[in-house]
Amino acid sequence: MIKVLHFFKTYRPQTFGGIEQVIYQLAEGGLQYGIESEVLYLSPQGAARGEKSGQHVSHRSKLDFHVASTGFSLSAFRDFAQLAKNADIVHYHFPWPFMDLAHYVSRIDKPSVVSYHSDIVKQKTLLKLYQPLMKRFLSSVDSIVASSPAYAESSPVLRHYSEKVSIIPYGLDRATYPEPTIERLAYWRSILKEPFFLFVGALRYYKGIHFLIQALQGADFNCVIAGEGFEEEALKQQAKEAGLKNVLFPGLLSEEDKAALLTLCYAFVFPSHLRSEAFGISLLEAAMYGKSMISCEISTGTSFINLDQETGLVIPPADPLALRQAMLTLLRNPEQAAMMGERAARRYESVFSSANMLESYARLYNNLLLSHN
């Protein structure tokens, strides 16, 4: 059994973002591939060891403070060093500058993997200060994994480390998603007028939801914008000022409610317009549920999941008119939309299943251990 320690700034049940979902899928599915995973993360709730999360355990270090959205923890240096001693491989999840610092302070001498989830896009000034540490950290790790060929090719950072970069697409296991009950499906049908479009995700600056709200003005179709985040109140105010009656903000969904809405929605809309959206796990969830998709061309993994005119429509970013036209195109062509959804489901099975991801990581882990012996 290979023991892997995952290290990231947050984890479920504290947060339910895309990276947390990827770590969860790796940890849960890895057992059948001989991989035993533990997760260390920071929490404002304080420290705790050995909390059960599905079939694996997670550990919390006390979150002390934030600097430019980066969590710091004094106790995490000790916690990380102790847990890493018992691991065969340390698996980092980038970006998180504190993680780079902890790697050096703890003097970790174990085979190491970095899942490179995203470039640092927003904090450009702080990036200049952080770059020396980042370059030293990425130079020192054994392997860097990108989630799509497009991101590896378009990232200036990853191009610099191309000799140690491999591509492993994120994968999901449909079996880990609950089947919505008849009662829950009936509840959503009672409050939603079909057909409706669906967005699920954190309401953050790079998600392009303000363009989606603009696209919905004057439209006679409905859209559900599910999730929570820093932009939530501003987006609700935008919709209110526009007098929109065709948009619903249900907040953060339970896993069953998310599954219900993914089952019932006509199509999935994903208007992320900046490179901070490196992949799009919720977009992949829509493909898994056999839904046609609308996304933007931002030279990241979104166009690796959603192939234009095959599994959905890919439009220019930050363009409300193009977004609205894409939604109308799918609505006016239900047979085409259904066929796109079927192709999306087949592509999920062939490229993005958790089995593919886990098999690739198992090979990577084993190769690292062999090279270190």
CA distance 257 to 332: 27
Output phi, psi for 48, to 5 deg.
-160, 145
pLDDT in the model for residue 269: 98
pLDDT in the model for residue 316: 98
pLDDT tier for residue 134 given thresholds of 50, 70 and 90: very high
**Do both 184 and 142 map to the same domain?**
no
**Do both 15 and 146 map to the same domain?**
yes
**Do both 39 and 158 map to the same domain?**
yes
pLDDT tops 80 at residue 124: no
**Do both 237 and 252 map to the same domain?**
yes
Share of the chain above pLDDT 90, in %: 89
What letter does residue 317 receive in the DSSP assignment? Answer: T
**Do both 346 and 365 map to the same domain?**
no
pLDDT in the model for residue 259: 98
Nearest CA to 28 out of 55, 48, 64, 47 is that of 55
**Do both 224 and 78 map to the same domain?**
no
Greatest mean pLDDT range, 63-72, 121-130, 299-308: 299-308
**Do both 341 and 359 map to the same domain?**
no
The model's pLDDT over 337-364, given as tens digits with 9 standing for 90+, comes to 999 999 999 999 999 999 999 999 999 9
CB-CB contact of 189 with 226 (8 Å): no
pLDDT tops 80 at residue 20: yes
pTM of the model: 0.89
**Do both 252 and 367 map to the same domain?**
no
**Do both 336 and 362 map to the same domain?**
no
Strands 56-62, 48-53: pairing is antiparallel
**Domain count for the chain:** 2
Q: Which domain holds residue 199?
A: 174-351
**Do both 117 and 251 map to the same domain?**
no
The model's pLDDT over 41-81, given as tens digits with 9 standing for 90+, comes to 999 999 999 999 999 999 999 999 988 778 999 999 999 99
Burial environment of residue 182 by CB neighbours within 10 A (0 to 12, 13 to 18, 19 or more): exposed
CATH number at 46 reads 3.40.50.2000
